[in-house]
Chains A and B, each alone.
Chain A
């Protein structure tokens, strides 16, 4: 483990193009920081890697990951999830609180944080639960979690919505003293009772109970108003509808401190995948209509949605290889996020590489208040970065992914762009698809 990067052999990356801009340059990484940047950097005493043709970006930050440890170590562990993250170009991930036990105390969040440090492939930041046991009844000890070694600054009951408006108001107000953000899973559970799929023509035809867009949008509107009055910071998890994007646009324009994320799968897939009833496509919020997908892409491109977060959700085969209504919602995302963003945003001309750096690294780091991630690729900055081959393509195979689970919705899909190397504080964590321990 290298918490600081000091003592790691210096590394020269030759011929990279930061943000895919300008001519190729060399990067010298030493003592965990970018020590030099320019043409023909002196590599004496350093390991030199030919990185010609590769794009350098700041290491990715995932605000929304399910690492399943503690509780479901048969589906993912902090070690395997960290490996998947590093292979996907991530240098920091936020581990959601819906573990067993729930991450609603300082003890549990410190455990997750320590395990992340021991594995050392990626910075694992635990997300603390907003309410005790995610039950939506009373506030968890947000202050104790914030003051713990894990330094929690993001709280969420993800998987469940903090439905009680008074409790949500209190959480938002309380969080302002901690300089924390409340990340809401926006779903009015009264409107989604028994819901199995996006409420629309596909679910209706297939006889699947609908999950209406209004169940998400009404909570977003309510929470934005509560955040406005509390002067608090609200983050909206996995925004999935065109209406949500419009609400966010309006509230942001009116000064509410709200940020938002969109998942890769909501940028690429829609409810037309559902006929056939394969639960690999079952996710919450559900895959929406093609119009929603287009609206989410536009909202991401113009900054109304800040960032892409994976909602990486590993599940055991028996929890997916069953009838639709019995299956658990969620899909893998860490190793495919970059490629899906390239496919949906870069190939369509909606984002350039500078934009990719913003949505996968800089803005999520800012949302979470990280000061050592999502930094510019400049001399003196932390050496957290990823090298991407923009020309390569690859075919997704769930069995080949580092996750303990295989529930990828992109099986057999040919996707653009590969992560060649990920560097955490000057140390190479993955190279050519292999994890370096």
Chain B
């Protein structure tokens, strides 16, 4: 595997290996005074972010630096991208400049796939492409659930995970649907009908769709809340406008699909609450829930660094031991 483009393209063994490697790296760093491994010394990782992002970009940067790679960050506004250079030319330029790995976030679905096709030698990591996939997010979510549940590589086997919110526009949801099912979990998708992707029963077989969050919560082992972007709520609906609102109001959404304290009480005691961030507190998740011990949201961020270290190691590390 030269690239990591989509959770849908992962096989189970590779996914488990990446999670195991992330665990090993985490353990290796725990005992160290200086959090730095020499594994990727001399390797160059360039992050290309065509969308604003704090956590993912920082997470990749730290992951690279903790493995001693040289990490360069390129953002769309401060580069030739702003001058209208094509994605292909930018990718070829960065490869020629010495990148061993390009980490790309782009608003167009499939952008990472296109880059992988253009580059003869460089690894491409998809850090989020449009509304398609965000595979490292799914890996860090699975790793977080495995930690909470315990039980090693079969930890997710038979577990029931709810994904709640804007499934239609969510790359996090798509990646998680694929990876969770690959790892043996049952996936329950909860959203208003306007935010359910068409034909989901055919492309995510086994996943079930529900519009009743309260009915699903008692049987869930974990619930993943998705952010609802402001433009989905109040988008213009007049002629020539955007795609319009997908539900009547933030309040109605929150009443139907927000995870508040009362709903937290419907979940089993052991159930874990996840959120990929950034959260809209009071909308899809109440502050008391986000800050409760049931929530694993900061653990997700911590695991994100280790998963991305594992991915960079897997793609660039060759045969050396990771730590």
Contact = CB atoms under 8 A, between A and B. Distances in A.
Interface of A: 190, 193-194, 196, 199-210, 276-278, 318, 321-326
Given A193-B242, A200-B198, A323-B114, A208 B203 contact: no
27 contacts: A193-B241, A193-B242, A193-B243, A194-B243, A196-B109, A200-B198, A204-B168, A204-B198, A204-B200, A205-B197, A206-B110, A206-B132, A207-B130, A207-B133, A208-B130, A208-B131, A277-B110, A277-B113, A278-B117, A318-B86, A321-B86, A322-B86, A322-B88, A324-B109, A325-B107, A325-B109, A326-B108
Given A322-B114, A323-B106, A325-B109, A199 B198 contact: yes
Contacts of A199: 198
A215 B204 CA distance: 26
Contacts of B241: 193
Interface string B113-134: 1100110000000000111110
B174 interface: yes
B94 to A, nearest CB: 16
Interface in B1-48: 8
B82 interface: no
Nearest to A326: B108
Nearest to B109: A207
B248 interface: no
A324 to B, nearest CB: 5
Given A208-B110, A209-B131, 18 more contacts: A193-B242, A201-B199, A201-B200, A203-B198, A204-B197, A204-B198, A204-B200, A204-B203, A205-B203, A208-B130, A208-B132, A209-B243, A321-B86, A322-B86, A324-B110, A325-B109, A325-B130, A326-B87
Contacts, number: 79
Contacts of B117: 276, 278
Contact of A325 (B108, B168, B171, B174): B108
Of B87, B109, B131, B203, most buried by chain A (CB within 10 Å of CB) is B109
A196 B199 CA distance: 16
Contacts of A324: 108-110, 114
B114 A277 contact: yes
Given A199-B198, A322-B88, A205 B174 contact: yes
Contact of B131 (A202, A207, A322): A207
Interface of B: 8, 86-88, 106-111, 113-114, 117-118, 129-133, 168, 171, 174, 197-200, 202-204, 239, 241-243
Contacts of B242: 193-194
B84 to A, nearest CB: 11
Contacts of B198: 199-201, 203-204, 210
Contacts of A203: 198
- Pairs of residues from A and B, 9 with the lowest C-beta to C-beta distance, nearest first: A277-B110, A201-B199, A207-B132, A204-B197, A207-B131, A323-B108, A207-B109, A205-B203, A325-B108
A290 to B, nearest CB: 12
A201 B203 contact: yes
A204 B199 CA distance: 7
Contacts of A277: 109-110, 113-114
A73 B199 CA distance: 41
A333 B242 CA distance: 33
Nearest to B242: A193
A210 B197 CA distance: 9
A385 to B, nearest CB: 43
Contacts of A206: 109-110, 132
B202 A201 contact: yes
Contacts of B113: 276-277
A198 B185 CA distance: 30
A431 B106 CA distance: 48
A189 to B, nearest CB: 9
Nearest to A190: B239
B227 to A, nearest CB: 16
Given A277-B114, A321-B88, A208 B109 contact: yes
Of B110, B174, B199, B242, most buried by chain A (CB within 10 Å of CB) is B110
A324 B109 CA distance: 7
A194 B130 CA distance: 13
Contacts of B199: 200-201, 204
Nearest to A274: B110
Contacts of A208: 109-110, 130-132
B88 A207 contact: no
Contact of A207 (B87, B171, B202): B171
A205 B114 contact: no
Of B108, B118, B168, B242, most buried by chain A (CB within 10 Å of CB) is B108
A204 B131 CA distance: 9
Nearest to A200: B199
Contacts of A318: 86
B106 to A, nearest CB: 7
A323 B8 CA distance: 19
Contacts of B202: 201
Contacts of A209: 131, 243
A324 B87 CA distance: 11
B165 to A, nearest CB: 15
B218 to A, nearest CB: 29
Nearest to A194: B243
Nearest to B237: A190
A39 B129 CA distance: 66
B100 to A, nearest CB: 23
B107 to A, nearest CB: 8
Contacts of B88: 321-322
A202 B204 CA distance: 11
B306 to A, nearest CB: 26
A194 B240 CA distance: 11
A201 B130 CA distance: 17
Contacts of A190: 239
A82 B250 CA distance: 57
Contacts of A202: 203
A210 B168 CA distance: 11
Contacts of A205: 8, 174, 197, 203-204
Contact of A323 (B87, B174, B200, B203): B87
A207 B114 contact: no
Contacts of B110: 206-208, 277, 323-324
Nearest to A199: B198
A323 B117 CA distance: 11
Contacts of A276: 113, 117
B171 A322 contact: no
Nearest to B89: A318
Nearest to A210: B198
Nearest to A203: B198
A206 B178 CA distance: 12
A193 to B, nearest CB: 5
Contacts of B132: 206-208
